Amino acid sequence: MATYAKGFKKEQEHTLLLKVIVGLIILVLVVVGIAYLSDALTNLGDYDDYSDQHITTYGTILTQKDDQAVQLQNYVVYFYNADQDDCIAMQKEVLRIAAKLNKDAEVIFFVDLDAITEDTAASDAFLDAIGKTQTFLGLSPMLISVADGVFNTAYSDDATILDVLHQVEAGNYTPFE
């Protein structure tokens, strides 16, 4: 390298290119590290972390009570199958919303369709109450809303379920107003 009168050394092109490549590699590693840490810090866990909001019998789905044994008037029930791809894909967003909704009061409950072991008479009574057939229980994920203490609506489309949950989270779900 040549030294100039002012003391600066002239860098060769390949040295400058090497520094740029190393800089880009470091930048990519930092971005990936931040993304990983962000994901790790916002991991909301698993459905099992909300075991106190899990409903285990069909007969109690439409009659949820608060800590003082007073029947809740407005809440949603999210039905899932832990091994079903759509439920797995929605899990993080559903649990994020659940963490916010249940911070002050119980607003969302969960039903693990694999964990309910009641006979078909119990499920038939529940399905009759909401005007659905047995095939509805095969549509996981699904969501029902209870407004003013009575069944309101059932949803089985992933995008609609998330939309309804976002509305409940924002406080502008019309049946709850």
Tell me, yes or no, whether 68 and 10 share the same domain: no
Q: Which of 4-8, 64-68, 85-89, 159-163 has the lowest mean pLDDT?
A: 4-8
Q: How many CB atoms lie within 10 A of CB 119?
A: 8
Q: How many CB atoms lie within 10 A of CB 57?
A: 13
Instruction: CATH number of the domain at 133, please.
Output: 3.40.30.10
Query: What is the 3 state secondary structure string of 104-159?
Result: CCCCEEEEECCCCCCCHHHHHHHHHHHCCCHHHHHCCCEEEEEECCEEEEEECCHH
- Please give the pLDDT value at position 8: 60
Number of domains in the chain: 2
Mean pLDDT of 149-161: 91
Tell me, yes or no, whether 85 and 142 share the same domain: yes
Write down the pTM of the prediction.
0.74
The band of 24, judged by pLDDT with boundaries at 50, 70 and 90, is: very high
- Please give the pLDDT value at position 27: 93
State whether residue 31 is helix, strand or coil. helix
Tell me, yes or no, whether 86 and 168 share the same domain: yes
Tell me, yes or no, whether 31 and 105 share the same domain: no
Give the C-alpha distances (Å, rounded to integers) separating 151 from 10, 20, 103, 148. 78, 62, 23, 8
Tell me, yes or no, whether 21 and 76 share the same domain: no
Tell me, yes or no, whether 51 and 72 share the same domain: yes
Question: Which one, of 96, 58, 93, 90, lies nearest residue 77 by Cα?
Answer: 58
Q: Does residue 50 contact residue 80 with C-beta atoms inside 8 Å?
A: no
Quote the domain boundaries for residue 25: 1-42
Residue 29 has pLDDT above 90, yes or no: yes
Tell me, yes or no, whether 111 and 87 share the same domain: yes
Mean pLDDT of 154-169: 92
- Please give the pLDDT value at position 4: 58
**Whole-angstrom distance, CA of residue 175 vs CA of residue 177:** 6
- Please give the pLDDT value at position 33: 85
Based on its alpha-carbon atoms, the radius of gyration of the chain, rounded to whole angstroms, reads 26
Tell me, yes or no, whether 81 and 149 share the same domain: yes
The band of 153, judged by pLDDT with boundaries at 50, 70 and 90, is: very high
Tell me, yes or no, whether 67 and 133 share the same domain: yes
Tell me, yes or no, whether 105 and 28 share the same domain: no
Give the residue carrying structure tokens 């911070």.
103
Tell me, yes or no, whether 95 and 117 share the same domain: yes
Tell me, yes or no, whether 35 and 90 share the same domain: no
Question: Which one, of 49, 61, 57, lies nearest residue 129 by Cα?
Answer: 61
- Please give the pLDDT value at position 120: 79
